[in-house]
């Protein structure tokens, strides 16, 4: 694994340097310049199969889990979904090929990304609300959208601790 890897008590995290700037073209959202400046960070969480995480966020995790965070509601769009889906598929070749369905993607936004939700609906991709602040959908892989302002305090603290690794 690359530089910046850390071992949690149950999982290994790895910082991923992905350039998501191609997802925000001028004029698409009306706030393209603002979106590009958003500090988006992406980490991979590699969870051993015998470890169970007992909260709604971590309960979604499988073997290889990509978490992208720092989105605003305007910067999280369907292009981000496509890019991260492709990246995860490339990673699966070397990391998570043991079982199909072993990879998840979590998208963390401060506010509910209404534009993304509309784009998913327009693309006939069903989004299921899994409780306060968590939305699931499937696009080749399993995705969850996490809305920080809607999450209960304890889950928000757990996620912020994970992202700080």
95-145 pLDDT, tens digit each: 544 565 788 999 999 999 999 999 999 999 999 999 999 999 998 889 999
Range among 1-10, 12-21, 151-160 rated most confident:
151-160
State residue 8's pLDDT score.
44
pLDDT top residue among 124 and 84: 124
Tell me the CA end-to-end span of the chain in Å, nearest whole number: 15
Q: Which domain holds residue 127?
A: 6-163
State residue 42's pLDDT score.
83
36-70 pLDDT, tens digit each: 445 678 888 888 878 888 888 888 988 888 888 88
CB atoms within 10 A of CB 24: 22
Q: Is residue 132 part of a domain?
A: yes
Q: Is residue 1 part of a domain?
A: no
pTM score > 0.95 for this model? Answer: no
User: Residue 124 corresponds to which tokens in the numbers above?
Assistant: 């006939």
Strand partners, 6: 13
Count of domains for the chain: 1
Nearest residue to 64 (alpha-carbon basis) of 41, 40, 18, 98: 98
């Amino acid at each position: 694994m690359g530089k910046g890897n850390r071992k949690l008590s149950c999982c290994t995290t790895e910082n991923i340097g992905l350039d998501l700037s191609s997802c925000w073209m001028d004029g698409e959202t009306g706030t393209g310049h603002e979106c590009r400046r958003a500090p988006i960070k992406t980490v991979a969480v590699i969870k051993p199969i015998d470890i169970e995480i007992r909260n709604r966020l971590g309960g979604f995790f499988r073997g290889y889990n990509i978490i992208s965070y720092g989105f605003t509601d305007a910067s999280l769009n369907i292009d981000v979904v496509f890019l991260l889906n492709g990246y995860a598929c490339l990673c699966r070749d070397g990391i998570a090929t043991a079982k199909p369905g072993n990879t998840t993607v979590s998208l963390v936004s401060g506010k509910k990304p209404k534009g993304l939700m509309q784009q998913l609906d327009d693309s006939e991709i069903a989004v299921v609300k899994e409780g306060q602040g968590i939305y699931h959908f499937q696009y080749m892989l399993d995705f969850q959208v996490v809305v920080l302002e809607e999450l209960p305090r304890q889950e928000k603290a757990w996620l912020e601790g994970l992202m700080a690794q």
